[in-house]
Chain A
Amino acid sequence: MRELRYLVRRLLQMVPVVFGLTLLVFLLIHLVPGDPARTMLGPRPPQAVVDALRQEWGLDRPLVEQFLLFVTRLLQGDLGVSLASGVPAGDLISDRVPPTLALVLVGTVFTLLISVPLATLAAVNLNRWPDHVIRAVPLLGLGMPSFWVAIILILALALTTGWFPAGGYGSNLPEQFHALVLPGLTIAIALTPITIRSLRAALLEVLDADYIATARSKGLTEGRVLFFHAVRNAIIPTITVLGVNIGWLIGNTLIVEKIFAIPGIGALMVDAILERDFPIVQALALIFGVLVVLVNVLADVTRSLLDPRLKLT
């Protein structure tokens, strides 16, 4: 019950955040120079043709009126129609949200699969060579830009060995997962340096705690102590770190999407901005906002599930 009330409250808090974001994006994209009608028609058609198109799209009306119209439609569940393609924004975007979410999910799972064992290994070997190696090597991931990591992965694991496709997105689930392995790994390589360090630090603290000594004195195997007592407690701050980073990631999968030709919303956003396709930019800003807030709520809920003592307030 308390969880439910918490969820409802967090979701309601989303409304002003998202509204503010929408207004900001609307103003920014309209204030940037550039005319979608001229961009679409190119240099040849006479100004009269361009003006007619602007009128058809309602771009000749005052900004306030355009914004009110946008909000009115939004409240009716209508995201508008893409200027560039004439397709409803909802249709255009709904196909492209799943690939981005799948990419973020695969990236997150890989991050955890890499971070948890490595951080644990480092923590139990404090100041011995495995610890030094695990602390140092992933830092390289922080220093390597994603576009470079992506290309190296493609060269090594797609072109040379043929194990994975060099970009693209399949049409069924196994193909899609196959296609997401390298992009997911690219994301994981960027995230693991942060999560490993945070998890290792937390583990070191936890391993000194009394309840670990208690667990050991009960005669539990070291593995049970580590994974059911130590990691479970130590991972909570890491979840927070991961939550923040995933929020950041949703807006930043763009580079990975572009290099691997994944038809996600990051790539759509850039194209829409370049074409000044206002309805698409606005709709995407809205969706990005909602997703980021949702991920943070999800991170809070996950922490609470892992540690019931944490109150959802």
Chain B
Amino acid sequence: MNAIGKRLPAAVATLAIVGAACQGAAAPTSGSSTSPTEAGPAATAGANPTIDDGETPRQGGDLVFARPEDSTTMDPAKAVETETIYVLNHIFETLYITSADGQSVEPWLVEGEELSEDELTWTFDLRDGVLFSDGSPMTSADVKFSVERAASDESGFGFLLAAIDTIETPDEDTVVMTTKYPWRPLLADLALWSGGIMPADFGGRSEEEFFEEPVGTGPFVLDAWDRGQSLKVVRNDDYWQDGKPFVDSVTWTVVPEANTRVIQVQGGQAHIVSDIPFNSIENLNSSEEVNAQGFPGTTVYYIMFNAETAPYDDVHVRRAIAHAIDKEGIAGAVLFGNGTAACSIIAPTVTFHDPETPCLQYDVEAARAELEQSSVPEGFEARILVGDEPTQVAAVEIIQAQLAEIGITVTIDSIDPGQFYETLSSMDYEMGLAGWSMDIPDPDEQISFMLDKEQGGANSYSTAYEDPRITELLRDAQREFDDEARAALYSELQAVHAEEVPHIPVYFQATPFAWSVQVNGLHVNPVGNRHLEDVWLSE
């Protein structure tokens, strides 16, 4: 499942969109919906071997993309699963998008924006010459309709756009949004898939009819959808980026078994496959027909504590556990080089990540010393919750062995995805290994969700944790339009977090793909967007 994102424009006034968009998506470790592999920052080499090799892109060809699950809906407001979102990105486009390096937002269906002195009124100049796939031009009325729909209760992620007060359309080319309070993440929030632009009032059709044959401004148009099996989109001839897309069609096929996806790309049945086993990457790269890589992502896996339960409400216990865990060892053992040990809770691919965060190092003696000062100096019996994904289970087993060293006896509760969120939201756990990935390029999505107990909407993502210093810092950062000042706020927040350890970030994980050497121009940004309109197939 994923996420939502809010973004804060970095650019203060002017049209420059500098933005620090962020994205965050919560990928529960359970892996039910998302492919659990968003990239970790450190993931393998970030370069895109396929991009920009100087050749002239070839038009034509039918791209086949094998993935673990099918889409569930064509409605951006109802989409929550990553596989659904990554298809919708190609049909409905948003006003802003996440940049290729994941560090900022870029204007997409707008030329730019202007922010008023009081930081409450945003004026957007829409991009000229953008047509819907039915040939009609995109106007401000369409934008108003789409964004209001995304912000409504009808949308599962409407609360992310809660800062928006009014949307007005002075002319066909201009949209004016006012916010209830200064809200830096707005542009990043508008990069969230749920704000995909569609014709006002569904172009006169009923909602149901519209999503049977959706119309957007994206590079592709839905052609056929055989539920659970394959989904085919064809080229939108009215697309606004000249010459794109290069391929005639994209067909996403559902291949649930990871090793079968690997075999399909080797056997030539699929051009691109996602979510392959980490341990297959090296082997695939030794072939001349296939490239494989973990793209840097934003996924962090971390240990969470139920702060309502003893002894996890004791900071010494949390610090003891943090010192007792060898993150380097875990990342090396379970990710085969496709990720790195984590320090800050904010992934290195996300803006305002502070590499200097003073997190607690692996030190068994220090761990024992912390435990001595705690309410349970002799150790205790603990339970840890984990999804059923093999990488995560392996990580938890290592953690179990390492905690045994300091007298903490851990029982592992591995549960299936259908139960994961319910268990978390009912607070029926002690510790858990959970994952988070961003949907937009602004850390606010993650930080307020995980740490703002009152306003984050999720009880500090089911930890019930609250620290007044952290709450103040994150709320100040939401309203701070100066990048440097904002970075300082987030650095301080990361430092307090490292000291209080409400979570222990364990590892950042890459997003593994494999593709045929025929495929050119594939790039997956840290949020997971693919932009297949840039991909072309050589002969």
Contact with A along B485-523 (1 / 0, CB 8 A): 000000000000000000000000000000000000000
Q: Which of A35, A85, A169, A260 contacts B260 (CB 8 A)?
A: A260
Residue of B nearest to A273 (CB): B418
Q: Could you name 17 residue pairs across A and B whose Cβ atoms are closer than 8 Å? A: A33-B422, A35-B421, A36-B418, A39-B420, A40-B72, A40-B80, A41-B80, A42-B156, A44-B1, A45-B159, A49-B156, A95-B228, A96-B228, A154-B260, A166-B267, A169-B229, A258-B260
- The minimal Cβ–Cβ distance linking A218 to chain B, given in whole angstroms, is 55
A263 near B: Cβ within 8 Å? yes
Number of A-B contacts (CB under 8 A): 142
B166 near A: Cβ within 8 Å? no
CB contacts (< 8 Å) of A47 on chain B: these are: 425
- The reply to whether A38 and B422 form a contact with Cβ atoms under 8 Å apart is yes
Give the distance in Å from the alpha carbon of A166 to the alpha carbon of B265 in the complex: 9
- The reply to whether B80 and A42 form a contact with Cβ atoms under 8 Å apart is yes
B254 near A: Cβ within 8 Å? yes
Q: Which interface residue of A84, A87, A261 has the most chain B CB atoms within 10 A?
A: A261
A223 near B: Cβ within 8 Å? no
Q: Which of A60-68, A111-119, A157-165 contacts B (4 or more CB under 8 A)?
A: A157-165
- The reply to whether A261 and B255 form a contact with Cβ atoms under 8 Å apart is yes
B4 near A: Cβ within 8 Å? yes
CB contacts (< 8 Å) of B255 on chain A: these are: 167-168, 261
Given contacts A39-B422, A43-B26, A273-B418, A259 and B264 within 8 Å (CB-CB): no
- The reply to whether A276 and B418 form a contact with Cβ atoms under 8 Å apart is yes
Given contacts A43-B1, A45-B156, A47-B425, A86 and B73 within 8 Å (CB-CB): yes
- The minimal Cβ–Cβ distance linking B447 to chain A, given in whole angstroms, is 14
- The reply to whether A268 and B228 form a contact with Cβ atoms under 8 Å apart is yes
- The minimal Cβ–Cβ distance linking A211 to chain B, given in whole angstroms, is 51
Given contacts A34-B418, A167-B260, A274-B416, A44 and B3 within 8 Å (CB-CB): yes
Contact with B along A28-57 (1 / 0, CB 8 A): 000011111011111111110100000000
Q: Which of B32, B227, B462 contacts A275 (CB 8 A)?
A: B32
Q: Which of A151, A166, A259, A275 contacts B418 (CB 8 A)?
A: A275
- The reply to whether B421 and A39 form a contact with Cβ atoms under 8 Å apart is yes
- The reply to whether A85 and B72 form a contact with Cβ atoms under 8 Å apart is yes
Contact with B along A216-243 (1 / 0, CB 8 A): 0000000000000000000000000000
Give the distance in Å from the alpha carbon of A167 to the alpha carbon of B32 in the complex: 23
Q: Which of B33, B73, B269 contacts A167 (CB 8 A)?
A: B269
- The reply to whether A258 and B457 form a contact with Cβ atoms under 8 Å apart is no
B52 near A: Cβ within 8 Å? no
A201 near B: Cβ within 8 Å? no
- The reply to whether B266 and A259 form a contact with Cβ atoms under 8 Å apart is no
B256 near A: Cβ within 8 Å? yes
B365 near A: Cβ within 8 Å? no
- The reply to whether B425 and A168 form a contact with Cβ atoms under 8 Å apart is no
B538 near A: Cβ within 8 Å? no
- The reply to whether A45 and B157 form a contact with Cβ atoms under 8 Å apart is yes
Give the distance in Å from the alpha carbon of A186 to the alpha carbon of B259 in the complex: 17
Give the distance in Å from the alpha carbon of A36 to the alpha carbon of B421 in the complex: 10
CB contacts (< 8 Å) of A158 on chain B: these are: 263, 267
Closest 3 pairs (CB-CB, A-B): A42-B1, A34-B418, A166-B267
B458 near A: Cβ within 8 Å? yes
B377 near A: Cβ within 8 Å? no
Give the distance in Å from the alpha carbon of A225 to the alpha carbon of B226 in the complex: 51
CB contacts (< 8 Å) of A32 on chain B: these are: 418-419
B2 near A: Cβ within 8 Å? yes
- Enumerate A161-189 residues with CB–CB distance to B below 8 Å: 162, 165-169
CB contacts (< 8 Å) of B352 on chain A: these are: none
Residue of A nearest to B256 (CB): A258
- The reply to whether B228 and A258 form a contact with Cβ atoms under 8 Å apart is no
Contact with A along B415-459 (1 / 0, CB 8 A): 011111111110000000000000000000000010000000110
Give the distance in Å from the alpha carbon of A274 to the alpha carbon of B418 in the complex: 5
A215 near B: Cβ within 8 Å? no
CB contacts (< 8 Å) of B26 on chain A: these are: 42-44
- The reply to whether B421 and A38 form a contact with Cβ atoms under 8 Å apart is yes
A203 near B: Cβ within 8 Å? no
CB contacts (< 8 Å) of A159 on chain B: these are: 263, 266-267
B461 near A: Cβ within 8 Å? yes
- The reply to whether B4 and A34 form a contact with Cβ atoms under 8 Å apart is no
Given contacts A86-B73, A158-B263, A263 and B228 within 8 Å (CB-CB): yes
CB contacts (< 8 Å) of B266 on chain A: these are: 159, 166
- The reply to whether B229 and A42 form a contact with Cβ atoms under 8 Å apart is no
CB contacts (< 8 Å) of A268 on chain B: these are: 228
B153 near A: Cβ within 8 Å? yes
- The reply to whether B157 and A44 form a contact with Cβ atoms under 8 Å apart is yes
Give the distance in Å from the alpha carbon of A45 to the alpha carbon of B156 in the complex: 6
- The reply to whether B421 and A42 form a contact with Cβ atoms under 8 Å apart is yes
Give the distance in Å from the alpha carbon of A162 to the alpha carbon of B269 in the complex: 11
CB contacts (< 8 Å) of A260 on chain B: these are: 260
- The minimal Cβ–Cβ distance linking B222 to chain A, given in whole angstroms, is 15
A92 near B: Cβ within 8 Å? yes
B245 near A: Cβ within 8 Å? no
- Enumerate B1-48 residues with CB–CB distance to A below 8 Å: 1-4, 26, 28, 32-33
- The minimal Cβ–Cβ distance linking A150 to chain B, given in whole angstroms, is 9
A267 near B: Cβ within 8 Å? yes
- The reply to whether B72 and A162 form a contact with Cβ atoms under 8 Å apart is no
CB contacts (< 8 Å) of B156 on chain A: these are: 41-42, 44-45, 49
- The reply to whether A95 and B263 form a contact with Cβ atoms under 8 Å apart is no
CB contacts (< 8 Å) of B423 on chain A: these are: 33
CB contacts (< 8 Å) of A155 on chain B: these are: 263
Given contacts A167-B269, A274-B417, A34 and B33 within 8 Å (CB-CB): no
B351 near A: Cβ within 8 Å? no
- The minimal Cβ–Cβ distance linking B389 to chain A, given in whole angstroms, is 12
CB contacts (< 8 Å) of A45 on chain B: these are: 156-157, 159, 457
Contact with A along B217-251 (1 / 0, CB 8 A): 00000000011110000000000000000000000
- The reply to whether A261 and B253 form a contact with Cβ atoms under 8 Å apart is yes
Give the distance in Å from the alpha carbon of A149 to the alpha carbon of B269 in the complex: 21
B282 near A: Cβ within 8 Å? no
Give the distance in Å from the alpha carbon of A155 to the alpha carbon of B262 in the complex: 12
Contact with A along B254-278 (1 / 0, CB 8 A): 1111011001101101000000000
- Enumerate B462-504 residues with CB–CB distance to A below 8 Å: 462
Contact with A along B152-189 (1 / 0, CB 8 A): 01001101000000000000000000000000000000
